[in-house]
Chain A
């Protein structure tokens, strides 16, 4: 695997930074949509190197962060049922529900397993025919193709002790919600590169034109992020509001057609609750009629579990870019990565956790 060193090259980064500094003539607020980008920015200290007039706002693109509390509670309830094996991506295990997290359920005797792919969960189901194996299918458009593939495979191979707890959410409706908010202060977006790898650019054209914002599809290595910022600043300074692809090595305009076709077969658009943003119409995916029998929520009768978020958590304002994580009263006191009140403090990609990890010195000095 190559490109890791090359896409962090300090000399090239210096050239891009110099261009940004020379171009940015006024204050601009840019939102990086994806949690992976937030992580890259804070991990490499990119925000410290930008002109002070340029503000980066950390968007809602962390699947761990926007999965609603009630879905976590439903996961906890399913995992606790004797005879189930609950499989999940690693970073969902520490997301707090109303009463504990999946680690706590596991410590109490439940069989909770970390997998790297939903197909691994399918293998677990095959190997344990007497158990009900449930996969926590969270994520944006990025993780959907693999999840869709697992469900389609389960049906094709007749693996009926497998089901998925679906919590898929979509990026464009979230951006629309942010842009339509009366408090919106975002001038331009760095779109999530890997989401576009799957879905292509089409959905972003109308967003850019309707709302008059530049949207630059951006990758995740330091040079990718800097180039995304550079192109956004150029568009803003020149008054352009276009969709631009700064991640051409991974994103084609039409996306990945095979993946889109697969996802379209297994999932259909539905309303979704977002942690922090509330209910958004047509903002997620659920299983289509022909695959509904693999839906864990109805199989385990947990869809009546409904709960409210901790009122002290202001994740919604953080995700909208209205509040910096360190401006939240709970930040660092009643809310830490160890005892998170809300999801953005949990995941390494969550804006609050990233702030807490990487900027503690600075925050300590200003608070």
Chain B
């Protein structure tokens, strides 16, 4: 992807971001015209020369925003660019919406190489095209060198919700079953492994991916998804605990049913982390009627990112608000919401 962008003439005076690129003048305009728009490509087709994008959407609209900060900016399997698009796309999808358009706001650090920015913007364009959303409006600011981590990106997104779609957690009902769409722990451990410079025998790739196709194909089969949650920060533990608390129901899942890649399990053991609490960027749980769960798994198996989908557990009227893991040995373990930052243990 990076090879496709070569520095055009108007940008050649500056191989790096300078304070002037955020000043609203010619330098900024050059950046939009010669870097962002070519890098975004097809996804920026509908960008308009207005201070705001004008969208034509029927029916209820889902609206969300998220900020992206990650070190390093590029990691095995993706970059902050894919995260910024896929993360916001997935927030819309999890609300039951079809993503329509995204805004992109950049806070750039003085000194950032244009080549890096171009690679990341190109990744955003490709991710947006893959997810079928337009990048329709944006903004760029520059902060002094040393006052940012290269790039911060904020995206906001809107999506349209079809008639009859209702995925509020309150629809979770005892007897419902819970489907997990794929293996957990890959994104967090991929980032950690490059951040800490720890070499593993196998390279773990971030799972960053849009979930619109997976969810869309379940909905297209006429299956009533009661609720969904993508398992981002805080991992599966946070996702399930939030759902149980919001719905006021209990959740039980089997340790053995949750696909955890061997490399993730080994790396977590080494760092003293719990794979259930590690972040993902392309995995979700969906809660459906008990009779529909097997069909959901079958549908997900047919899609990229869904090959390892599995029924992992069920909703219960026991222990409302609490998530319980049935361990491999046959005991019960209460799963708590992670505190915040995961802290590697001493020994």
Interface residues of A (CB under 8 A from B): 1, 4-5, 8, 10, 13, 36, 42-49, 63-64, 89-94, 114, 116, 138-140, 142-143, 194, 222, 337-338, 347-349, 356-361
Minimum C-beta distance from B256 to chain A (A) = 8
The answer to whether B336 touches A44 (Cβ under 8 A) is no
The 10 closest A-B CB pairs, nearest first, are A45-B331, A90-B343, A1-B266, A90-B344, A48-B331, A89-B346, A91-B343, A360-B334, A142-B347, A45-B327
The answer to whether A360 touches B339 (Cβ under 8 A) is no
Residues of B313-339 contacting chain A, CB below 8 A: 319, 322, 324, 327-334, 336, 339
Partner of B329 from the list A46, A140, A356 (CB cut-off 8 Å) is: A46
Q: What 0/1 pattern do residues 114 to 151 of B give for CB contact below 8 A with A?
A: 00000000000000000000000000000000000000
- A49 CA to B329 CA, complexed, in Å: 8
The answer to whether B266 touches A222 (Cβ under 8 A) is no
Q: Could you say which residues of chain A place their CB within 8 Å of the CB of B324?
A: 361
Q: Could you say which residues of chain B place their CB within 8 Å of the CB of A48?
A: 331-332
Minimum C-beta distance from A136 to chain B (A) = 10
Q: Could you say which residues of chain A place their CB within 8 Å of the CB of B265?
A: 4
B302 within 8 A of partner (CB): no
Interface residues of B (CB under 8 A from A): 196, 198, 201, 262, 265-266, 269-272, 319, 322, 324, 327-334, 336, 339, 342-347
Q: List 23 A-B contacts (CB under 8 A).
A: A1-B201, A1-B262, A4-B262, A5-B262, A10-B330, A13-B328, A36-B345, A42-B333, A44-B329, A48-B331, A49-B329, A89-B344, A90-B343, A91-B344, A114-B344, A116-B198, A138-B346, A139-B347, A143-B347, A222-B328, A222-B329, A337-B336, A358-B334
- A44 CA to B274 CA, complexed, in Å: 13
Nearest B residue (CB) for A91: B343
Knowing A91-B344, A114-B344, A194-B347 are in contact, say whether A13-B329 is a contact too (CB < 8 A).
Answer: yes
- A142 CA to B347 CA, complexed, in Å: 8
- A270 CA to B114 CA, complexed, in Å: 57
Extra contacts besides A1-B269, A44-B329 (20): CB < 8 Å: A1-B266, A4-B265, A5-B262, A10-B330, A36-B345, A44-B327, A45-B331, A46-B329, A64-B346, A89-B345, A89-B346, A90-B343, A90-B345, A94-B339, A94-B343, A194-B347, A337-B336, A348-B272, A358-B333, A359-B334
- A142 CA to B196 CA, complexed, in Å: 21
- A48 CA to B196 CA, complexed, in Å: 37
- A337 CA to B339 CA, complexed, in Å: 8
- A93 CA to B342 CA, complexed, in Å: 11
The answer to whether B269 touches A116 (Cβ under 8 A) is no
The answer to whether B266 touches A63 (Cβ under 8 A) is no
Give the dominant DSSP class at B's interface: loop
Nearest A residue (CB) for B196: A116
Q: Could you say which residues of chain B place their CB within 8 Å of the CB of A349?
A: 345
Q: Could you say which residues of chain B place their CB within 8 Å of the CB of A90?
A: 342-345
Minimum C-beta distance from A36 to chain B (A) = 7
Nearest A residue (CB) for B201: A1
Knowing A139-B346, A349-B345 are in contact, say whether A338-B339 is a contact too (CB < 8 A).
Answer: yes
The answer to whether A361 touches B319 (Cβ under 8 A) is yes
The answer to whether A45 touches B272 (Cβ under 8 A) is no
Q: Could you say which residues of chain B place their CB within 8 Å of the CB of A357?
A: 334, 336
Q: Could you say which residues of chain B place their CB within 8 Å of the CB of A49?
A: 329-331
Minimum C-beta distance from A139 to chain B (A) = 6
Q: Could you say which residues of chain A place their CB within 8 Å of the CB of B339?
A: 94, 337-338
- A13 CA to B256 CA, complexed, in Å: 15
The answer to whether A91 touches B346 (Cβ under 8 A) is yes
Minimum C-beta distance from B119 to chain A (A) = 27
Partner of B332 from the list A45, A64, A222 (CB cut-off 8 Å) is: A45
Minimum C-beta distance from A250 to chain B (A) = 13
- A224 CA to B338 CA, complexed, in Å: 27
- A116 CA to B345 CA, complexed, in Å: 9
Q: Could you say which residues of chain A place their CB within 8 Å of the CB of B201?
A: 1
Q: Could you say which residues of chain B place their CB within 8 Å of the CB of A63?
A: 346-347
Q: Could you say which residues of chain A place their CB within 8 Å of the CB of B272?
A: 91, 348
- A214 CA to B226 CA, complexed, in Å: 55
Q: Could you say which residues of chain A place their CB within 8 Å of the CB of B271?
A: 116
Which residue, of B322, B329, B333, B347, has the highest number of chain A Cβ atoms within 10 A? B347
- A138 CA to B345 CA, complexed, in Å: 12
Q: Could you say which residues of chain B place their CB within 8 Å of the CB of A4?
A: 262, 265-266, 269
Minimum C-beta distance from B193 to chain A (A) = 12
Q: Could you say which residues of chain B place their CB within 8 Å of the CB of A338?
A: 339
Partner of A92 from the list B269, B270, B346 (CB cut-off 8 Å) is: B346
- A251 CA to B198 CA, complexed, in Å: 25
Q: Could you say which residues of chain A place their CB within 8 Å of the CB of B269?
A: 1, 4
Minimum C-beta distance from B338 to chain A (A) = 10
Q: Could you say which residues of chain B place their CB within 8 Å of the CB of A91?
A: 272, 343-346
Which residue, of B332, B333, B343, has the highest number of chain A Cβ atoms within 10 A? B343
- A140 CA to B334 CA, complexed, in Å: 29
